[in-house]
Amino acid sequence: MAKAKAEREVKEKTPKKNKATVQEAAQKDAAAPAKAGATPMQGPEIAQGTSATQLPASETMPQSVPPQSQRRQPGLEHRMTPAPVVIRASYRGSGKLSGKVALISGGDSGIGRAVAVHFAREGANVAFLYLDEHEDAAETVRLIEAEARVGLAISGDVGDPKACKKAVKEVLRKFGQLDVLVNNAGEQHPQESLLDIAPEQLERTFRTNVFGMFYLTQAALPHLPAGASIINTTSVTAYRGSSTLLDYSSTKGAQVAFTRSLSGNLAAKGIRVNAVAPGPIWTPLIPSTFSAEQVGNHGVKVPLERPGQPAEVAPAYVYLACQDSSYVTGQVMHVNGGEVVNG
């Protein structure tokens, strides 16, 4: 299991450094113990990367990433350079998710981690399901708790229906409710030819990306109240395709169809179902699936000519999770650096 997206890059620029006063505030707040019932933080208190000593997210997003690769899937966020931007220093929560509980698959890193931290800043307690990236998962819990919320990390394979049922049971045991489900887990395995895609790879990609989405939603659905929200992470590849990600892009198309179909099925119950289709976002999926050269070019072909950061995608999930989107269901939000897609 991993997290989603594409390939590319752009010319290098050095991000602006944060002011000392902001650094001091972040370090002070990150060190403070979290209280489950406290008011969520409102300002630039959260750390950007993967350790307690890192500085708040820069307001200037990195313009490029250096060539690098990882030899394992899922990828590891704590080995990425630069560390993905999790949340903007200026992002201020306003209680949009106060009193809510969210469950996110693939929430240990990448887009999933950013969504977890944004939800926490908006007042939600957050549980997440992850495969085996234990160090990344522990850091995500720390970031949630730095927002004075409760975080719960659950290790398991989303492609296993028993693991999905167990995850939901743990959420209910811990929090007694579930209000927002984010199906975010995903994996990809580039191949130059259709003939290179072995049956085992095809089954594995569909099991994580499609079956896992079905299994986790089936496990959660009986416990979702009216007003709940289901959000699926699809991809720009569902709309424009990918010549080297044939099975992956097929799963992303299936996720769009699932989103639209389930939205109609659940509308009468007051449960909204939407999706987000990110473009080339800087997540562990990228260095763990592409060559160092391809990673160095991540994001170069989109109109904004740079890779996106998880902090730039996560607010779309906040919108779809909260009552600001009460009249929105069956829709897909496109956060892709300027690619124009139909649908």
Q: What's the sign of the alpha-carbon dihedral 128, 296, 239, 313?
A: positive
Q: Which residues pair with 128 in a beta bridge?
A: 104, 153
Contact 65, 14 (CB under 8 A): no
Name the active-site residue from 91, 130, 239, 248: 248
Q: Known catalytic residue: 248?
A: yes
CB-count burial class (<10 Å; 0-12, 13-18, 19+) for 142: middle
pLDDT value at position 73?
A: 87
Least trusted range by pLDDT, from 67-71, 257-261, 319-323, 328-332: 67-71
- Tell me the average pLDDT across 155-183: 98
Q: How far is CA 163 from CA 52, 158, 226, 276, in A?
A: 30, 6, 25, 24
Least trusted range by pLDDT, from 47-56, 115-124, 167-176, 209-218: 47-56
- Tell me the average pLDDT across 169-197: 97
Q: How many CA within 13 A on the CB side of residue 286?
A: 36
Phi (first) and psi of residue 311, to 5 degrees: -65, -20
The answer for residues whose C-beta is within 8 angstroms of residue 267's C-beta and 6 or more apart is: 329
Report how far residue 151's alpha carbon sits from residue 101's, in angstroms, rounded to the nearest whole number: 10
Give the strand pairing for 272-278 and 180-183. Answer: unpaired
Contact 156, 167 (CB under 8 A): yes
Q: Compute the C-alpha angle 2/164/321, nearest 5°.
A: 75
Q: What's the sign of the alpha-carbon dihedral 188, 190, 194, 199?
A: negative
* Distance from the Cα of residue 250 to its chain's centroid: 20
Contact 62, 9 (CB under 8 A): no
Of the candidates 211, 185, 191, which has an alpha carbon nearest to the alpha carbon of residue 283? 185
Of the candidates 75, 56, 51, which has an alpha carbon nearest to the alpha carbon of residue 142? 51
Q: What percent of the chain has pLDDT over 90?
A: 73
pLDDT value at position 42?
A: 45
pLDDT value at position 183?
A: 98
Average pLDDT, the chain: 86
Report how far residue 169's alpha carbon sits from residue 209's, in angstroms, rounded to the nearest whole number: 22
pLDDT value at position 343?
A: 63
What is the DSSP secondary structure assignment for residue 39, as one 8-state letter? P
Domains in the chain with CATH codes: 20-33+45-335 (3.40.50.720)
Q: How many CA within 13 A on the CB side of residue 208?
A: 28
What stretches of 59-151 show up as alpha helix (H) in DSSP?
Answer: 110-121, 134-145
* Bond from prior residue into 222 cis (ω within 30 degrees of 0): no
Report how far residue 4's alpha carbon sits from residue 244's, in angstroms, rounded to the nearest whole number: 14
> Would you say residue 30 has pLDDT above 70?
no
Band of residue 60 on the pLDDT scale cut at 50, 70, 90: confident
Q: How many CA within 13 A on the CB side of residue 331?
A: 14
> Would you say residue 164 has pLDDT above 90?
yes
Of the candidates 333, 84, 79, which has an alpha carbon nearest to the alpha carbon of residue 229? 333
Q: Which residues pair with 276 in a beta bridge?
A: 233, 333
Least trusted range by pLDDT, from 123-127, 161-165, 293-297: 293-297
Q: Which of the pair, 3 or 156, is modelled with greater confidence?
A: 156
